[in-house]
Chain A
Amino acid sequence: GENVEQHPSTLSVQEGDSAVIKCTYSDSASNYFPWYKQELGKRPQLIIDIRSNVGEKKDQRIAVTLNKTAKHFSLHITETQPEDSAVYFCAASTGSYIPTFGRGTSLIVHP
């Protein structure tokens, strides 16, 4: 089955800095890569996603890149704000759309 590795497990940045979270996947058949933000005790919220036919996608301060050859994808957050503090999960899925989640990254943005 699919295996998703996510790094780092904890990321601490100063407000205004950029944050990068990286994930790798094992199943070359995976073609959909969503990213979720989860605040403490709340449901995961989809923040951005990318499909395998696209190399990069951007939405305001958030961007995701995908390297299919290397089987890795990354989340980039620019100009971080304290409200960006949360746990971020990457995921990978095939056409069956049951995603396999990474272990999560706890992002802390210090004001």
Chain B
Amino acid sequence: GAVVSQHPSRVICKSGTSVKIECRSLDFQATTMFWYRQFPKQSLMLMATSNEGSKATYEQGVEKDKFLINHASLTLSTLTVTSAHPEDSSFYICSAGGGIDRVRGYTFGSGTRLTVV
């Protein structure tokens, strides 16, 4: 089945620094990747949708200059949290879509626990 790899799984960074999170589709070409944020005991909130080779589409309220998304290839998308602050601490999950069955094309990465101190 479709496999999505996300790294790192955990990261602790100092306030003001930037953190890059990678999301890779290992055995299929992901034409579309999604980035979600999840606060404790809350649902997945879609942050942005990225299509390979084009600019990401951000959801309302998500700062595109703070959460930089790059989808340079069909197997890799990156999310960079710039100038991180403690309120950015959260669980970030990517998912990848594409392939023949576009309706079901929703495989999640393992998530990244970001802690900003």
Contact with B along A90-109 (1 / 0, CB 8 A): 00010101111111101000
With contact pairs A43-B111, A97-B97 given, residues A102 and B43 touching in the complex (Cβ less than 8 Å): yes
Identify the 5 closest CB pairs spanning chains A and B, nearest first: A43-B108, A101-B43, A103-B43, A101-B44, A43-B110
Q: What's the A-B contact tally at a CB cutoff of 8 Å?
A: 47
Contact with A along B82-117 (1 / 0, CB 8 A): 000000000101000100001111101111010000
Count class of interface residues, chain B = 20 to 34
Expressed in whole angstroms, the minimum distance between the Cβ of A8 and any Cβ of chain B is 14
Question: Which residues of A line the B interface, CB within 8 A?
Answer: 32, 34, 41-46, 49, 51, 87, 89, 93, 95, 97-104, 106
Chain B residues near A89: list those with CB within 8 A: 43-44
Expressed in whole angstroms, the minimum distance between the Cβ of B59 and any Cβ of chain A is 10
